[in-house]
Structure 1
Amino acid sequence: MHWSDISPERLAVLRRGAAIPAHLLALDAERKLDARRQRAMTRYYLDAGAGGAAVGVHSTQFAIRDAGLYEPVLELAMRTAREWVPLGGERPLFMVAGLAGRTPQAAREAGIARGLGYDAALLSLAALAGSSEDELVAHCRAVAEAMPLVGFYLQPAVGGMHLPASFWRRFAEIDNVVAIKMAPFNRYRTLDVIRGVVAARAEERVTLYTGNDDHIVLDLLAPFTFMRDGEPVTVRVKGGLLGHWSVWTRAAVQLLERIHAAIEAGHVTPELLALDAQVTDCNAALFDVAHDFHGCIAGCHEILRRQGLLQGTWCLDPGEGLSEGQATELSRVARDYPHLTDDAFVRENLQRWLE
């Protein structure tokens, strides 16, 4: 499958820049898949206006593979996306599947995702820690033969590795790469990705997405200009593929729309710039920065539990949960930044999603 096989309508969603939530995993008290609430979560994302969803990624919990849930969870999300008519009517979606493991596993997962109808695959390189740059590029090229790739710069705190600009140049040169999610939570390393894409002359084909949940607004607002052959080349981060946007998704969609409008009008206000710190403050609570991201998934679960979409904060790993004081911090940011939440939207639609 090549990116040119994707329908122009769905590819346009990616290219313009969409809010793509990193799909969470709904479990019951026995840590088994709660299909009803998993389906409700997908419906929520679509009704909120998301441009698609990323399923089988870090927020969905990499352990779904060991639990035998990888294919069932991807299939359920895709089936729900096809069957559900979102608020405002049918529209094209860009669906992303997470891939993990060494080359044989990642290629096998790509085959599953392709068979289910996913458009592209977000490729985690965590399993290749310690590999050389040549080995990493060879792995990416092999998996790209199966389906279009979205690169993934994952922060080291949750299993990522340092990847220099030279790697990102070589990665962007792979013809079946359509986007890169930049999530190193590090400004220097974020610039490495963008410089690599510009050096590869791939800025038209490779759409940049922020995964820097600690720096969302400025990633989306700032122009990035680098020199190539003595001439300036300016690129922008078009959308977000974010764990942060797995909650309060309606507000996230509205934020992205507002940012796009400001850029098109050439008028970025101080009020819009001020949202960067507010969103980052919210993320500190969601991702449990105070405890080195220990509760980063459970924090997102807690928001959906409070809204009624989930019954609990359970993760597949019993050792994962809310950290001490995290619930209090979540209450604080929800109180201080109501314009960044969507509780009323969820309340109005929850029963439809749970049907």
Structure 2
Amino acid sequence: MAARLAAGCVIPAHPLALDASRALDARRQKALSRYYLDAGAGGLAVGVHTTQFAIRERGLFEPVLRIAAEAAAEHAAAPILVAGAIGRTAQAVAEARIARGLGYHAVLLSLAAWKGATEDEMIAHCEAVAAEMPLFGFYLQPAVGGVPLSAAFWRRFAAIGNVVAIKIAPFNRYATLDVLRGVLEAGAQDRIALYTGNDDHIVADLLTPFTLVHRGVPTTLRIVGGLLGHWSVWTRAAVELQARCAAVRGAIPAELLALDAAVTEMNAAVFDVANAFHGVIAGCHEVLRRQGLLEGIWCLDEHETLSPGQAELLTAVAQRYPLLTDDGFVAANLHRWLS
């Protein structure tokens, strides 16, 4: 698992398929997993924000993780399975144990429940969960509930032996560098795989050689892949884009660098940036609904839906950047995934 993470890949943050009564649609839930894996994704992240945190109070955490694990077992690629773990220590440890029992490889650990806690308390929490499962660290942007975390925190976090990767998603270049600085100062750059969650700079993150100096020695760190809600849609195109970025040696082609802005513009429509991310999950659902993968855009919270004008924005960006979509790939395989 560590070698596959280090090689870099696309890991979609898995949505939740519901029917009109807002009950789990197991058939379409598995179809989504099959889509991602056939598109070339190297893993699946389940039980995360895009899956909707409310699955826990609805008794869906274990069933949803199980469906993805079943789809992964069907697939020849042996994908990396990452489970979201949230809450204080007792809850996160319990969720890690469920994930481990289902064959998951790591837990993406959210610290959103630790607002106001000390750094020592958060590190102790991370160590407790790491005793159960390998950790995929997560710097969530404060705008949607994340906790600001210093370079000193990330140095201590990276020193935990069972940390295998970090999702960097503060949507902030300064904070992104704090993570990189912490990993470097912990001497963990060869052990911890770095993944982008910065949906506003996906391509730039994948292309940038982050050369930092520590104790007089310059070291280049690379973000090798992404664990992204944005990659839960148009996933085949995302796999192709990540591969193009990974293949760059030397000078970066201008046309590839220009895709950073195009992908960011598409993300703004999907994530409903104009309305402070209110329609972020519904935006992902709408793309999948148009492709036939989902029956509707229902969320567990009936108030979560598209914002006014968001549907039109989704249509516009898909028309502007057709090479960043994968409608043809989905149409050709949908019947098989739904079988």
> Which TM-score band applies after superposition, normalised by the shorter structure?
over 0.9
Aligned twin of 1:305: 289
Secondary structure of 2:107's counterpart equals: strand
Aligned twin of 1:49: 40
Secondary structure of 2:225's counterpart equals: strand
Q: Tell me the CA shift for residue 328 of structure 1.
A: 0.4
Alignment of structure 1 residues 145-160 onto 2, 5 Å: 145-160=131-146
**2:227 is equivalent to residue 241 of structure 1:** yes
Contact 1:56 1:70 in 2 (8 A): yes
Contact 1:52 1:96 in 2 (8 A): yes
Secondary structure of 1:314's counterpart equals: coil
**2:334 is equivalent to residue 350 of structure 1:** yes
Question: Matches of 2:251 and 2:24 in 1, distance apart?
Answer: 46
**2:98 is equivalent to residue 112 of structure 1:** yes
Question: Matches of 1:167 and 1:154 in 2, distance apart?
Answer: 14
Secondary structure of 1:44's counterpart equals: helix
Q: Tell me the CA shift for residue 161 of structure 1.
A: 1.3
Aligned twin of 1:5: none
Contact 1:26 1:38 in 2 (8 A): yes
Aligned residues: 339
Q: What stretches of structure 2 of length at least 5 have no aligned partner?
A: none
Letter in 1 for 2:20: A
Secondary structure of 1:95's counterpart equals: strand
Q: Tell me the CA shift for residue 68 of structure 1.
A: 0.5
Q: Tell me the CA shift for residue 266 of structure 1.
A: 2.1
Aligned twin of 1:175: 161
Question: Matches of 2:3 and 2:312 in 1, distance apart?
Answer: 41
Pairwise CA RMSD: 0.7
Q: Deviations over 1:19-55 (max 9, x none)?
A: 0000000001111100000000000000000001000
Q: Tell me the CA shift for residue 63 of structure 1.
A: 0.7
**2:58 is equivalent to residue 67 of structure 1:** yes
Aligned twin of 2:280: 296
Normalising to structure 1: TM-score of the pair? 0.94
Q: Tell me the CA shift for residue 127 of structure 1.
A: 1.0
Aligned-pair identity in percent equals 67
Secondary structure of 1:53's counterpart equals: strand
Alignment of structure 1 residues 235-274 onto 2, 5 Å: 235-262=221-248, 265-274=249-258
Contact 2:289 2:297 in 1 (8 A): yes
Contact 1:29 1:312 in 2 (8 A): yes
**2:200 is equivalent to residue 209 of structure 1:** no
Q: Deviations over 1:6-26 (max 9, x none)?
A: xxxx33221100000000000
**2:119 is equivalent to residue 133 of structure 1:** yes
Letter in 1 for 2:146: G
Question: Matches of 2:77 and 2:312 in 1, distance apart?
Answer: 38
Alignment of structure 1 residues 19-30 onto 2, 5 Å: 19-30=10-21
Aligned twin of 1:328: 312
Secondary structure of 1:96's counterpart equals: strand
Secondary structure of 2:80's counterpart equals: coil
Letter in 1 for 2:112: A
Letter in 1 for 2:233: V
Contact 2:272 2:310 in 1 (8 A): yes
List, as ranges, runs of 4+ consecutive aligned residues in structure 1 with deviation greater than 3 Å. none
Normalising to structure 2: TM-score of the pair? 0.99
Letter in 1 for 2:291: Q
Q: Tell me the CA shift for residue 233 of structure 1.
A: 1.2
**2:269 is equivalent to residue 285 of structure 1:** yes
Letter in 1 for 2:212: F
Q: Tell me the CA shift for residue 323 of structure 1.
A: 0.2
Aligned twin of 1:4: none
Aligned twin of 1:93: 79
Q: Tell me the CA shift for residue 209 of structure 1.
A: 0.2
Counterpart selection for 1:36 from 27, 47, 55: 27
Secondary structure of 2:222's counterpart equals: strand
Contact 1:23 1:53 in 2 (8 A): yes
Q: Tell me the CA shift for residue 56 of structure 1.
A: 0.4
Question: Matches of 1:76 and 1:91 in 2, distance apart?
Answer: 17
Aligned twin of 1:82: 73
Aligned twin of 1:161: 147
